Amino acid sequence: MKHVLALVFAATVAATIPVHAQVQECVDVSLINPEAVCPAVVDPVCGCDGWTYMNSCEAQTQGGVTSWTEGTCEVESCTDVAGVDFGVCDAVLGIAQVNGVCQTISGCDFVVNGVDYSPAFFEDEPTCTICNEVPPECGLQLLTSTVDGMWYTFEAIDVPDDVELTWWIDDFLAQTGGLVFEAGFDFNPFWSVCAQYESAPCGGLVEQCYSNVEGVAPCTDLAGVDFGLCEMAMGVANVGGTCQFVSGCGSYVGGVNYTGAFFDSMESCMQECNPGGNLPGCVYPEACNFNPLATEDDGSCTFPPFGCAFSEGAGCMYPGALNYDPWALVDDGSCQFAPDNTDCPGDVDGDNTVGVSDILTLLGQFGAVCD
């Protein structure tokens, strides 16, 4: 996109939010620790303060930010620039979103705190207004409940206001309209109920089904479902919007079959229920609680020797220590040194007495040429 810089007398954007308001909200000064030692891992993150840090550890301990995203800070089209100080200059940078409103902005440069905001600017207001277009809502979730295992109540939630639902039992149209559908199934063990609607902006048919054999639809949110206090691993499922391992006593709760909501692996659950999403956890292999499945560091990493013991190759690396290990690759803080016996100069071995072992030690060094 071509940006035209013209020297005119224009007021610098007066954002409703103060310049440092957004930074203040996302920074917790109690997290800042200049003496913290972070691993030398180049895994850049973009802090909520708009700065790019080498890794999440530095973002938390050096910047005090409370949240961040993977990768360097990159600005996309329609990014709201409220609170960004472009400097007190008369150069017109262009038109951009400020608190959801397209405004002409003047300033000194597109780059602020090392972040290039040029993609957020437009040449004219009509083009900028595309940022205010509301994307279509295409939601549909199906809640299933039963009292006796024969009479079922189905409730559709997250449905757009401008659509009409149709309810189907297998291939039979059972009801048109309404967010609630009830049906009884006495002796037929093989049946399914589907709620659906047509929407061109959503790409056509939007549907959710419950099958008495296969259970609820994949990715059904199981938050609040009590599977019992049993240690049996049932699989991975969507719980409160994130994929989690779930254990319990069985997949039937209150007469509802939840089998269809479970996946065999974390990868398959994330791919189906949260494609491209992030799994919070510790992403540093050197950490004690490294999670190989995590895709987004959540600041929970602990490192040896405080969180756990060092792995192989750790030992005392100080040659002057009593337990010096010449093969150690990492110093684990275990070095032990002989006490400074200034009050007992003859105590060579440090046992607080001058005895035969001290004399033998000195005689063993007799005749040695010191550098």
Q: Among 226, 261, 267, 265, which residue's Cα sits nearest to residue 247?
A: 226
User: Could you tell me which CATH class the domain 141-211 is placed in?
Assistant: mainly beta
pLDDT recorded at residue 8: 28
Predicted confidence band at 196 (pLDDT cuts at 50, 70, 90)? very high
364 contact partners, CB below 8 Å, separation of at least 6: none
Tokens of 219: 């990715």
Lowest mean pLDDT among 52-56, 133-137, 339-343: 339-343
| Domain spans in the chain, listed from the N-terminal domain onward | 6-132, 141-211, 229-297, 304-337, 340-371
Model pLDDT, residue 274? 72
Return the C-alpha torsion angle 68, 69, 74, 79, nearest 10. -80
> What does the pLDDT read at residue 35?
81
DSSP state of 261: G
Per-residue pLDDT tens over the stretch 77-87? 888 888 788 99
- In contact, 227 and 234? CB cutoff 8 Å: yes
Q: Residues, the chain, total?
A: 371
Rounded mean pLDDT of 172-201? Answer: 88
What mean pLDDT value characterizes the chain?
Answer: 79
Distance of CA 218 to the CA centre of its chain: 23
What pLDDT does 25 receive?
63
Q: How far apart are CA 142 and CA 181, in angstroms?
A: 10
Q: What spatial distance separates the first Cα and last Cα of the chain, rounded to whole Å?
A: 72
Confidence of residue 311 (pLDDT cuts 50, 70, 90): low
**Burial environment of residue 306 by CB neighbours within 10 A (0 to 12, 13 to 18, 19 or more):** exposed
For 231-249, the pLDDT digits (tens) are 889 999 988 878 889 999 8
Q: Give which of 62, 50, 55 is closest to 25, Cα–Cα.
A: 50
Using the CB atoms, write b or e for 168-181: b if 16+ within 10 Å.
Answer: bbeeeeebeeeeeb
What are the structure tokens assigned to 181, written together?
Answer: 């559908």
> Cα(303)–Cα(224) distance, rounded to whole angstroms?
34
| Residue 72, SS3 per DSSP | coil
What single string gives the DSSP state of each residue in 129-158? Answer: GGGGPPPPP---EEEEEESSSSEEEEEEES
pLDDT in tens, 128-180: 887 876 666 788 888 888 877 778 899 998 898 889 999 999 889 999 999 99
